[in-house]
């Protein structure tokens, strides 16, 4: 897809390439989700070294994100959610979702990283020029637009909706609420990132275990955590 769409996509009718762009966005988000699991050590729990290596690779492929700062900031988010120490928080002066999104992006994407992304896009543009009559359109449709849409997807489903304050929101230390969506919609929306309270409650679970965690958490009764069998299999 990365090779064909930049060459053929701009010449296709919108109804033909729009689904491909949405698929491309979903796959782009998947890179971050894999990196996110690596941050929590759940990607390859049997091998810390390879867990980190793959995490570094997919975060770099996602948006040139550096491993150590990304891990540190994300763990700060888990340790102090909703506080001024939380890089995902909207800050001391809330200003709505647009301002929150801007702060969210600024927390994770530095000027140097943005310059690196632009440099990579310029190199890709030069490589595309002799191959297609629409190199800029191909670059925008296949690389830049999916990344922007992916960042919005992660922000809306994984930060804004679960962590916004309001009536009926979670007041426990996680300051997160899960989105009451069916599992298929949850998967398509953002790899079950909307089951956010379950993720904060059990961050060691990989993304594909969150639906089972959500189902188990609804089982009444006391005693040991119903997630114990899931955790023990990791």
Cα 189 from Cα 154, distance rounded (Å): 9
What is the percent of the chain with per-residue pLDDT over 90, rounded to a whole number? 62
In this model, does residue 4 exceed pLDDT 80? no
Residue 222 pLDDT: 37
For 162-215, write each residue's pLDDT tens digit: 988 654 455 567 788 899 999 999 999 999 999 999 999 999 999 999 999 999
Domain ranges, ordered by start, for the chain: 5-176
C-alpha distances (whole Å) from 35 to each of 77, 106, 192, 223 are: 16, 19, 15, 33
Angle between helices 145-155 and 14-39 (to 10 degrees): 50
Q: What is the pLDDT of residues 89-134, one digit of tens each?
A: 876 666 789 999 999 999 999 999 999 999 999 999 999 888 878 8
Q: Hey, what are 154's tokens?
A: 């992660």
């Amino acid at each position: 897809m990365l090779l064909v769409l930049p060459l053929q996509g701009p010449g296709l009718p919108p109804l033909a390439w729009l689904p491909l762009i949405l698929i491309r966005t979903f796959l782009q988000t998947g890179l971050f989700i894999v990196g996110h699991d690596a941050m929590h050590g759940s990607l390859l729990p049997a091998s810390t070294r390879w867990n980190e290596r793959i995490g570094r690779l997919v975060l770099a492929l996602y948006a040139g994100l550096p491993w150590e700062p990304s891990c540190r900031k994300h763990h700060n988010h888990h340790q102090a959610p909703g506080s001024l120490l939380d890089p995902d928080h909207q800050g001391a002066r809330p200003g709505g979702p647009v301002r929150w999104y801007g702060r969210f992006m600024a927390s994770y994407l530095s000027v140097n990283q943005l310059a690196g992304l632009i440099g990579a896009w310029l190199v890709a543009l030069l490589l595309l020029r002799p191959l297609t009559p629409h190199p800029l359109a191909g670059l925008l449709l296949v690389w830049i637009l999916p990344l922007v849409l992916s960042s919005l997807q992660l922000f809306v489903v994984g930060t804004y909706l679960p962590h916004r304050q309001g009536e009926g929101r979670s007041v426990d230390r996680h300051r997160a609420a899960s989105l009451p969506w069916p599992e298929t919609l949850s998967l398509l929306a953002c790899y079950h990132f909307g089951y956010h309270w379950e993720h904060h409650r059990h961050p060691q679970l990989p993304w594909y275990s969150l639906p089972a965690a959500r189902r188990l958490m609804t089982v009444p009764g006391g005693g040991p955590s119903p997630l114990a069998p899931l955790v023990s299999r990791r």
